[in-house]
Chains A and B, each alone.
Chain A
């Protein structure tokens, strides 16, 4: 697999992971990173360097929207929520990834590995 393909897959998986999380509820950066780490069983990890450029990129596409609010500890945090445009993107992305994994499974049997 080329570096470019790997980077596109990793970028794509990060995108769908963020959108799927925000589809459930608005979250701020640290919570997003923590949830993704925990819910993916540590397979997907975000750091400062990978998370925020991705959030800003999604915000520029108007798929998500950020706004400052106080968290439970009373501190200002930038909460991101999914926009209607982002919601529209999520389903086709889910379909694409499902097809991708089905194809990959048929090819190399990843489920049984």
Chain B
């Protein structure tokens, strides 16, 4: 009988697994070839036309090595909610922040900072793209239409939370000034959040119907 164990080990040379696990895989595959050799006429040759030598030669070992490695590798522990909501939501949020920073900076260097609302209007114009990005990423992660909308709107919701926190912090720092203008401040917050939400929602619309939900959690 051939030394299948060492032959298999040679073929699995590129298998990147801990030593003990690699030994175990090699021993198991070698055992399969041994059994096939033992079965001989009864099974291997008569029924499938396969001999262990044929099987050994014809097996795509690099493909097998790749598949074993993939199967043995632990998955990144991300659940469906992370894939369909949190990750796309955070990516969208940071993308909006980066865009906002770029717009403010370019407006400043272009000498148009005298119109302070200009970057805001420009940002408003780009928000549908980010709404679309969020919904698309959520769909790729298996998100339902509702979570696609939630991800699309996430930058506006996060902005609302941030502004609310800043408002209360402002109250603590300069109570008189903020308290005197609270109605104006809240009106500005509501307008900013509502218009941003509408722009983001517009971007999510094309991604609400198309594409199936593919939950891959096992």
Contacts and interface: CB of A to CB of B under 8 A. Distances in A.
Interface residues on A, range: 20 to 34
A52 B72 contact: no
Interface string B1-44: 00000000000000000000000110111011111101100010
7 contacts: A42-B47, A45-B48, A48-B33, A48-B59, A60-B71, A75-B34, A78-B24
Interface of A: 28-30, 33-34, 37-38, 42, 45, 47-49, 51-54, 56-57, 60-61, 73, 75-78
B218 interface: yes
A1 B50 CA distance: 30
Given A37-B47, A60-B74, A48 B31 contact: no
B174 interface: no
B211 interface: no
Contacts of A53: 64, 67-68, 70-71
A49 B32 contact: no
Nearest to B34: A75
A47 B74 contact: no
A78 B218 CA distance: 24
Contacts of A28: 31
